[in-house]
């Protein structure tokens, strides 16, 4: 194959894989936004905390990876319960901006707790996910693709499928959407906000764990992990805050877009495009399609 | 008028032949009206220094339509919010179905058979009419979450049963044509009807309607009145409603409680309360500082 074409494919594939990683984080945001209309600033920190907890329990108690994951899931559920108990419960029917501010505070509390519990040094996370390039693709097609990224893509696909069914087809999904629309009305028909919030924050915590595992395996568990939340923001603007498929498509577009821009436009207009491309794209979307690709258009009757 | 005379009032109502709807004969209604189902005693609700309800007592009998009227700011909506658990009064007791009720959360009230609509429509705007009304079935669903998530046999069967009940509600309210439309796009009158549908889907024992006819034109009001009477008649649902349109109140209600400045000023049939001097004063805006309790 023509080396230029091959190189283009490699660029696109590595972009897609990076996009999957962004999408994983964005997914956690969408879940909580759908169920409570809150932009959860703490989502990135949740991913960090989950990864820290996983490495922590594996190191300190010498647990095998599967046991470590189960323990971490339980911890994330406990965290969700605590967040509901200590924060959200007291903010029922408040303006979204107040809940948003609360999640900012929450982010610092969770980050600090992670630091106290597990220390702030960079940790290696190895739960036995395959590392390195896929030999099969390298030998047969001369394509360089990380095995880990393939695992991340497959995992995300499964996660999205499960969540989509959960939201659209089940009674609790309907209850979640109801809560997202109107707290008071949801209460009046007998939906317990507390249960819903614990469920949705637990699910967001588990999604954060998946994201934390993937990012942690790739670049070590470090506190800068919580900053990937910033990359999720343009993904959400692109995909729409309320759409699970939107989070995925938005992530992929940004992943591929920034890689292509970096490699093909970089030499012309200068490097480091990767750092700002996503935000420029988000800005363009805000101007021309503020609800994103898949978001619900909000029609206000006046 | 006190609660002691409630029974006498019900009897008095039997003699009352003033009713717009022939099928809802007073005799039939009097027969249907039963024991006290909700008893509100000495309720005082304060928000900081503001007294929303002051020492209010009244009861609601099974099967009746009970109107709560009063000028703006009289504490009518606060009272509904107390009954359905949104607000917790500082003083007073609420006896619901014969049991004194501890501080109850709204979703718990819903589970015990209290459904409601809101003054400013509170629907799930992004969801279809059908899904909105399906949420009304929340308290009736028994199967576990996991079973639902997996669409497992009995859970699927349950979903289908609930769906068919909801279809009946949709037929009853004549809103088949909008069943798949997101409610945010519906005109106001239809939204009110969907909201009633969601409350009915819960098969409530007590239905609280906060200004069900506010902002409606005459035709829509007539439709809504008919639905309310039919609900009461066909399902025997007890209804408490807040309404400003006196014509509607007269047509619909068995008994009326009148609030003003947070306090109860009259209680009885609409003929009785209409003739009450304090009610007339409250509505005509006569200075009544000497009567204020707060």
Closest CA to A253 of A227, A224, A285: A285
Q: Residue B217 and residue B225: Cα distance in Å, rounded?
A: 12
In B, which residues are within 8 Å of A299 by CB distance?
184-185
Nearest CA in chain B to A162: B149
In A, which residues are within 8 Å of B148 by CB distance?
170-172
In A, which residues are within 8 Å of B84 by CB distance?
188
Burial of B76 (0-12, 13-18, 19+ CB in 10 A): buried
What's the average model confidence in pLDDT over A250-272? Answer: 87
Strand residues in A22-148 grouped as ranges (E): none
Q: How many residues does chain B have?
A: 294
The B residues from 179 to 238 touching A (CB cutoff 8 Å) are: 184-185, 198-199, 202
Q: Residue A208 and residue B281: Cα distance in Å, rounded?
A: 63
Q: Residue A125 and residue A162: Cα distance in Å, rounded?
A: 26
HEC states along chain B? CCHHHHHHHHHHHHCCCCCCCCCCCHHHHHHHCCCEEEEEEEEEEEECCEEEEEEEEEEEECCCEEEEECCCCCCHHHHHHHHCCCCCCCEEEEEECCEECCCCCHHHHHHCCEEECCCCCCCCCCCEHHHHHHHCCHHHCCCCHHHHHCCCHHHHHHHHHHHHHHHHHHHHCCCHHHCCCEHHHCCHHHHHHHHHHHHHHCCCCEEEEECCCCCCCHHHHHHHHHHHHHHHHHHCCEEEEECCCHHHHHHHCCEEEEEECCEEEEEECHHHHHCCHHHHHHHHCCCCHHHCCC
Q: Tell me which residue in A165, A174, A192 faces B107 most closely, judged by beta carbons.
A: A192
Binned at pLDDT 50, 70 and 90, residue B25 comes out as low
Handedness of CA B50, B56, B61, B66 (dihedral sign): negative
- Between strands B36-47 and B50-61, the pairing is antiparallel
Query: What percentage of chain B reaches a pLDDT higher than 70?
Result: 81
Which of B111, B112, B122 should we substitute to test contact with A (largest number of A Cβ atoms within 10 Å)? B122
CB pairs under 8 A between A and B: 88
What's the average model confidence in pLDDT over A12-32? Answer: 86
Q: Residue B15 and residue B8: Cα distance in Å, rounded?
A: 11
Q: What is the DSSP letter of A291?
A: T
B204-218 pLDDT, tens digit each: 999 999 999 888 888
Q: Residue B148 and residue B139: Cα distance in Å, rounded?
A: 15
Binned at pLDDT 50, 70 and 90, residue B12 comes out as very low
Question: Token pair of B12, please?
Answer: 């008095």
- Say whether pTM exceeds 0.95: no
Binned at pLDDT 50, 70 and 90, residue B28 comes out as low
Binned at pLDDT 50, 70 and 90, residue B20 comes out as very low
pLDDT of res. B287: 57
Q: Find the Cα–Cα–Cα–Cα dihedral A13, A14, A15, A20, rounded to 10°.
A: 90
What's the average model confidence in pLDDT over A58-62? Answer: 87
In B, which residues are within 8 Å of A182 by CB distance?
122-125
pLDDT of res. B115: 94
Q: Residue A39 and residue B168: Cα distance in Å, rounded?
A: 38
Are A175 and B107 a contacting pair at CB < 8 A?
A: no
Burial of A55 (0-12, 13-18, 19+ CB in 10 A): buried
In A, which residues are within 8 Å of B138 by CB distance?
171, 175, 189-191
In A, which residues are within 8 Å of B149 by CB distance?
165-166, 169-170, 172
Q: Tell me which residue in B110, B123, B131 faces A190 most closely, judged by beta carbons.
A: B110
Q: Tell me which residue in A171, A177, A184 faces B126 most closely, judged by beta carbons.
A: A177
CA of B143, closest CA in chain A: separation in Å? Answer: 10
Q: In what order do the strands lie in the sheet with B91-96?
A: B50-61, B36-47, B91-96, B99-100
B219-240 pLDDT, tens digit each: 989 999 999 999 998 888 999 9
Q: Find the Cα–Cα–Cα–Cα dihedral B226, B229, B230, B236, rounded to 10°.
A: 170
Q: How many residues does chain A have?
A: 302
């Amino acid at each position: 194959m023509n080396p230029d074409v091959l190189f283009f494919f490699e660029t696109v594939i590595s972009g897609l894989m990076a996009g999957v990683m962004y999408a994983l984080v964005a997914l956690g945001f969408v879940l909580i936004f759908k169920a409570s209309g809150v932009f959860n600033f703490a989502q990135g920190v949740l991913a960090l905390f989950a990864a820290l907890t996983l490495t922590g329990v594996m190191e300190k108690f010498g647990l095998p990876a599967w046991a470590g994951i189960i323990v971490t899931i339980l911890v994330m559920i406990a965290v969700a319960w605590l967040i509901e108990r200590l924060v959200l419960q007291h903010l029922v029917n408040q303006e979204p901006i107040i809940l948003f501010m609360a999640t900012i505070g929450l982010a610092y509390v969770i980050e600090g707790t992670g630091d106290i519990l597990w220390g702030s040094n960079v940790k290696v996370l190895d739960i036995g996910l395959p590392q390195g390039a896929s030999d099969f693709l390298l030998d047969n097609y001369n394509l360089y693709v990380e095995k880990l990224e393939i695992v991340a893509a497959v995992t995300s696909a499964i996660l999205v499928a499960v969540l989509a069914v959960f939201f659209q087809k089940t009674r609790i999904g309907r209850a979640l959407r109801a809560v997202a629309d109107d707290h008071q009305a949801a209460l009046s028909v007998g939906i317990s906000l507390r249960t819903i919030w614990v469920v949705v924050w637990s699910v967001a915590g588990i999604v954060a764990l998946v994201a934390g595992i993937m990012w942690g395996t790739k670049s070590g568990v470090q506190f800068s992990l919580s900053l990937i939340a910033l990359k999720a923001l343009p993904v959400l603007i692109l995909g729409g805050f309320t759409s699970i498929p939107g989070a995925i498509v938005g992530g992929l577009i940004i992943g591929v877009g920034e890689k292509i821009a970096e490699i093909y436009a970089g030499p012309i207009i200068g490097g480091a495009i990767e750092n700002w491309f996503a935000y420029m794209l988000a800005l363009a979307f805000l101007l021309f399609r503020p609800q994103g690709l898949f978001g619900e258009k909000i029609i206000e009757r006046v | 008028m006190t609660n002691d005379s409630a029974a006498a009032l019900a009897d008095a109502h039997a003699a009352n032949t003033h009713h717009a709807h022939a099928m809802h004969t007073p005799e039939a209604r009097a027969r249907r009206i039963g024991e006290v189902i909700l008893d509100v005693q000495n309720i005082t609700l304060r928000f900081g220094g503001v007294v929303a309800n002051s020492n209010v007592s009244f009861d609601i009998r099974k099967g009746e339509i009970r109107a709560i009227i009063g000028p703006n700011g009289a504490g009518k909506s606060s009272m509904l919010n107390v009954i359905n658990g949104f607000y917790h009064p500082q003083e007073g007791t609420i006896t619901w179905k014969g049991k004194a009720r501890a501080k109850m959360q709204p979703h718990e009230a819903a589970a015990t058979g209290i459904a409601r609509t809101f003054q400013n429509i509170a629907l799930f705007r992004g969801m279809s009419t059908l899904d909105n009304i399906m949420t009304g079935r929340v308290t009736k669903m028994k199967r576990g979450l996991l079973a639902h998530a997996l669409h497992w046999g009995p859970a699927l069967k349950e979903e289908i049963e609930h769906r068919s009940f909801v279809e009946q509600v949709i037929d009853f309210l004549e809103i088949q044509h909008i069943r798949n439309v997101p409610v945010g796009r519906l005109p106001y009158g239809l939204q009110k009807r969907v909201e009633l549908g969601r409350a009915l889907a819960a098969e409530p024992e007590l239905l609280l309607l906060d200004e069900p006819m506010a902002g409606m034109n005459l035709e829509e009001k007539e439709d809504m009145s008919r639905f309310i009477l039919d609900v009461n008649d066909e399902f025997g649902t007890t209804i408490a409603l807040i309404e400003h349109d006196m014509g509607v109140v007269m047509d619909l209600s068995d008994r009326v409680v009148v609030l003003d400045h947070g306090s109860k000023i009259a209680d009885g049939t609409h003929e009785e309360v209409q003739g009450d001097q304090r009610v007339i004063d409250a509505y005509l805006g006569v200075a009544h500082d000497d009567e204020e309790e707060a």
